[in-house]
A and B are shown apart, each in its own frame.
Chain A
Amino acid sequence: MAREATKGRKAVLTVVAWGIGLLIFFPILWTVITSFKTEAEAIASPPAFVDFHWTLENYTTVNQRSDYLLHFWNSVVISIGSTLAGLVIAVPAAWSMAFVPGRRTKDLLMWMLSTKMLPAVGVLVPIYLLARDTGLLDSRIGLVIVLTMVNLPIIVWMLYTYFKEIPGEILEAARMDGATLSSEILYVLTPMAVPGIASTLLLNVILAWNESFWTLNLTAANAAPLTAFIASYSSPEGLFYAKLSAASTMAIAPIMILGWFSQKQLVRGLTFGAVK
């Protein structure tokens, strides 16, 4: 009897949760479905859900008519470039704060975090003018530099919380056995730090891929990543839904797959370790 009741309860909860889940997911699903329609079907009323002529036409047109691949490549270069640059700067910093903490380590960490609290619009004008005067406006290098700095505090913090969990005794033991500093880092620390670094890399690529303030304000035709390219579809005409959907699907698919693997790291990285 009691078992029946729990099973019934579980069934109800399952239906409710799936219903809400699908409702929240629906705009994405709708975008993917629309991307396989013709433009006429995309604005047909009443709209069709599965009962239409499925076509890949939009994906080929989007690739042919616009420089879609260029913008996709810009997104790849900018997100991965800024993440790698950030890691190169942040790994030594996080390493020394985690293993050789000084009296001011905590203040330093808090200060780094505080730079992240600075609203972007507060420094929009100077960054824009600096980029313009150094020729970095609408260039991939310029955006890599800006996004590296924007996300550096998060990278340092995430790495710090991961490195903190590596027991210091292991390093001491290695030192006792005569390991030099370089071999200590190479053979003892690195293998233990790799999962943390990988998680940081993953989250940061996602953040950089979707960054939409600097990418929209600092780029034009050449260096525009997908965020800016898609925003240029913002015309009021109704005859491009299917192509917009195809471009959107291609823009969000890679990062969504990465994102599903990074749920835990997301919590840790975005709350600066305050919720684990």
Chain B
Amino acid sequence: MLSPAVVLLFLWMIVPLGMTVYFSFLRFNLLMPGTNDFTGFENYYYFFTDPSFWPALVNTLILVFGVLAITVIGGVGLAVLLDQPMWGQGIVRILVIAPFFVMPSVSALVWKNMLMNPVNGLFAAIARGLGLRPFDFFADAPLASIIAIVAWQWLPFATLILFTAMQSLDREQMEAAEMDGAGPVWRFVHLTIPHLMRAITVVVLIQTIFLLSVFAEILVTTNGGPGTASTTLTFLVYVQSMLQFDVGLGSAGGIVAVILANIVAIFLMRMIGKNLEA
């Protein structure tokens, strides 16, 4: 009964991946059919020496770390806040979680046009109202703008996971610490944070996997530009293989992306594996 799932997943994984590896060693351009010579590591050489490669790698790291920093810090803050007694907590939680269900192309377009547009956007209207000059987000700070959009999409995820983890916090221990005169800051640093550490790790690892593949947000807002200012590895591979039709080069880039993702995946798998035994 296992076998259909196992066989299908195995094929799904090994066939395309094998093809990518194979293509990455070929001179293979869809615009030049029939010249699929074996070229060894030439594609890898071209990929690493492509003037877009280093900017793309750096942009990928900035995007991932930027979004992680915002969502983890914001998520911990929101989880602690939502855990406090208040009226209408359920509704606030629904409001906070909502962005997670918005499809990436919608959130990218809404932010790009209706909020961040330097002429017709709401932010521009607010800036003009305050007597300031509207800021052209995607021309002057493309990567930061994309980070803001992606962070808005993932903050709900971090909040939801961390809020769930808060539910298992030992309330008696908290009260005991309070009775002993421990202030809120001490309790937060010495009780709340250590308790949330595991959930934070899970958030960081899972988000990293998804953030390495951020695509629609870039395609819809900046198309990787201006220049390479907002091109990530995923987007670079897309450009090379789908727009420049250089299958060999794109495949080499794809393999590089797989290797990078695997480094993260190993840590994540270890954590989940440990949990499985417990």
Residues in chain A within 8 A of chain B (CB atoms): 6, 9-10, 13-14, 16-18, 20-22, 24-25, 27-28, 30-31, 34, 42-43, 45-47, 89-90, 92-93, 95-97, 106, 108-110, 112-130, 149, 152-153, 156, 206, 209-210, 212-213, 216-217, 226-228, 230-231, 233-234, 238, 241, 244-245, 248, 251-252, 255-256, 258-260, 263-264, 266-267, 270-276
Cβ-neighbour of B109 out of A106, A156, A248 (below 8 A) = A248
Determine the distance from Cα of A253 to Cα of B57 in the docked complex, in whole angstroms.
36
Are B213 and A14 interface neighbours, CB within 8 A? Answer: no
Are A152 and B8 interface neighbours, CB within 8 A? Answer: yes
Nearest A residue to B254 via CB reads A122
Are B81 and A17 interface neighbours, CB within 8 A? Answer: yes
The 6 closest A-B pairs by CB, nearest first: A117-B265, A93-B5, A126-B19, A123-B16, A21-B95, A92-B1
Chain A residues near B128 (CB-CB < 8 A): 45
Given contacts A212-B215, A270-B206, A271-B161, contact A121 B106 (CB under 8 A): no
What's the dominant secondary structure at chain B's contact region?
A: helix
Among the stretches B31-39, B84-92, B173-181, B187-195, the one at the interface with A is: B84-92
Nearest B residue to A145 via CB reads B12
Are B213 and A121 interface neighbours, CB within 8 A? Answer: yes
Nearest B residue to A156 via CB reads B5
Chain A residues near B212 (CB-CB < 8 A): 119
How many B residues have CB within 8 A of the partner chain?
Answer: 104
Return the CB mask of B223-252 against A: 1 if under 8 Å, else 0: 000000000011001100110000100110
What's the dominant secondary structure at chain A's contact region?
A: helix
Chain A residues near B258 (CB-CB < 8 A): 118-119, 122
Return the CB mask of B95-135 against A: 1 if under 8 Å, else 0: 11111111111111111111101011010110011000000
Given contacts A25-B98, A130-B16, contact A230 B114 (CB under 8 A): no
Among the stretches B44-52, B62-70, B267-275, the one at the interface with A is: B267-275
Are A22 and B257 interface neighbours, CB within 8 A? Answer: no
Q: Is B146 part of the contact surface with A, judged by Cβ < 8 Å? A: no
Determine the distance from Cα of A276 to Cα of B276 in the docked complex, in whole angstroms.
13
Are B4 and A31 interface neighbours, CB within 8 A? Answer: no
Are B125 and A46 interface neighbours, CB within 8 A? Answer: yes
Are A27 and B107 interface neighbours, CB within 8 A? Answer: yes
Q: Is B144 part of the contact surface with A, judged by Cβ < 8 Å? A: no
Are A119 and B102 interface neighbours, CB within 8 A? Answer: no
Given contacts A126-B16, A241-B120, contact A152 B9 (CB under 8 A): yes
Are B110 and A248 interface neighbours, CB within 8 A? Answer: yes
Determine the distance from Cα of A271 to Cα of B223 in the docked complex, in whole angstroms.
31
Determine the distance from Cα of A92 to Cα of B106 in the docked complex, in whole angstroms.
36
Q: Is B17 part of the contact surface with A, judged by Cβ < 8 Å? A: yes
Known pairs A121-B234, A149-B12. 4 more at Cβ < 8 A?
A89-B4, A106-B273, A127-B16, A226-B103
Residues in chain B within 8 A of chain A (CB atoms): 1-2, 4-6, 8-9, 12-13, 15-17, 19-20, 23, 78, 81-82, 84-89, 91-115, 117, 119-120, 122, 124-125, 128-129, 152, 155-157, 160-161, 164-165, 198-199, 202, 206, 209, 212-213, 215-216, 219-221, 233-234, 237-238, 241-242, 247, 250-251, 253-255, 257-258, 260-262, 264-265, 268-269, 271-273, 275-277
Given contacts A30-B122, A119-B212, A124-B238, contact A153 B109 (CB under 8 A): no
Given contacts A25-B95, A110-B269, A125-B254, contact A31 B110 (CB under 8 A): yes
Are A276 and B164 interface neighbours, CB within 8 A? Answer: yes
Are B254 and A124 interface neighbours, CB within 8 A? Answer: yes
Determine the distance from Cα of A110 to Cα of B271 in the docked complex, in whole angstroms.
11
A212, A213, A231 pick with most chain B CB within 10 angstroms: A212
Determine the distance from Cα of A244 to Cα of B112 in the docked complex, in whole angstroms.
12
Query: Nearest Cβ in chain B — how far from A168, in angstroms?
Result: 16
- Ordered by A's residue number, 8 sampled pairs between the chains whose C-beta atoms are within 8 Å are A13-B85, A42-B114, A92-B5, A149-B9, A212-B216, A252-B101, A258-B101, A273-B276
Determine the distance from Cα of A107 to Cα of B213 in the docked complex, in whole angstroms.
26
Determine the distance from Cα of A120 to Cα of B213 in the docked complex, in whole angstroms.
7
Cβ-neighbour of B13 out of A95, A118, A217 (below 8 A) = A118
Given contacts A93-B5, A149-B8, A267-B161, contact A28 B98 (CB under 8 A): yes
